[in-house]
Structure 1
Amino acid sequence: MRTTFMAKPGSVQRDWYVIDAEGKTLGRLATEAASLLRGKHKPEFTPHIDTGDFVIVINCAKVVLTGKKLEQKNYYRHSLYPGGLKTTKAKDMLKTKPELMVFQAIKGMVPHTKLGAAQMKKLRVYAGAEHEQQAQQPKTWELNS
């Protein structure tokens, strides 16, 4: 009788991947990055174990939003004081903090649990083409779009 394979936390092999966001759609980029962080591309994927890889996203300043999202999409934050709601348009966010824009898109696609928080620690996001993880010899990951 065969049993279902369950990955052990200590036996997971982790790789480093670089995703170039230049000219890519934000949502499609975020789903691929979240899938890599979770480990869904691996045959030994186990939902309750962190089997994912490290992901580096570069050129976030050159990401593309489709339709009218650049003018209509808003990002919200709150100071936790009465009347402390702040809104930022997507075009302003893309100019000032493109890393945060991509980070929040990916964060929304991983589980909102302790496991998701552990998976998000394996994400590095950069606005430009340079990154600090050259020593890890990351492989490039092409998006399926």
Structure 2
Amino acid sequence: MKTYRVRPEDVQRNWWLIDAEGKTLGRLASQIARLLRGKHKPYYQPDVDCGDFVVVVNADKIRVTGKKLEQKIYYRHSNYPGGLKAYTLRWMLENKPEEVIRLAVKRMLPKNRLGHRMMKRLKVLRGPEHPYVAQKPQKLEVEA
């Protein structure tokens, strides 16, 4: 029996729609990362980009457990001396909820060119409407 190697041009890409309302941040991010990598497909290969497109709506209505709203801190640096900025999760959810989900998923993907390509297929939106109706994304229920 010969080993089957999938080629990038043979990959079938689907569109998935995930509603983040009431979902826990980490559990949601791991499911999204799984779809972006293509691990749900029978022909998954770690070195081939075989993932799907994922559209996440209602990013501002995600849930976190414990004391993470005050204790989890996101850092940014402007590359100038003294340019380190720190933001709590509460501030990020009020001002940039899309960025919270995007960063959680990004840190679960490979840290190379393949991971950057996968991140381009993630679309995170604050409200319930999305502009990807023409692609006919399939609704996916994720465990809370």
Category of TM-score, reference length = shorter chain: over 0.9
Note if contact 2:23-2:143 (Cα within 8 Å) is conserved in structure 1. Answer: no
**Is residue 110 from structure 1 mapped to residue 109 from structure 2 by the alignment?**
yes
**Is residue 51 from structure 1 mapped to residue 65 from structure 2 by the alignment?**
no
3-state SS of paired residue (1:128) = coil
Structure 2 distance, partners of 1:16, 1:138, is: 4
Deviation at 1:115, TM superposition (A): 0.4
Structure 1 letter corresponding to 2:95 = T
Unaligned regions of 5+ residues in structure 2, if any?
none
Structure 2 distance, partners of 1:115, 1:3, is: 26
- How many residue pairs get aligned? The number is 144
Query: What do the CA deviations read for 1:62-84 (whole angstroms, capped 9, x no partner)?
Result: 00011000111101000001111
**Is residue 4 from structure 1 mapped to residue 3 from structure 2 by the alignment?**
yes
Identical counterparts, % of pairs = 53
3-state SS of paired residue (2:99) = helix
Structure 1 distance, partners of 2:102, 2:124, is: 7
2:21 counterpart residue number = 22
1:39 counterpart residue number = 38
Structure 2 distance, partners of 1:120, 1:60, is: 16
Structure 1 distance, partners of 2:61, 2:108, is: 21
TM norm structure 2? 0.98
Structure 1 letter corresponding to 2:56 = V
Runs (4 or more) in structure 1 with deviation over 3 Å come to none
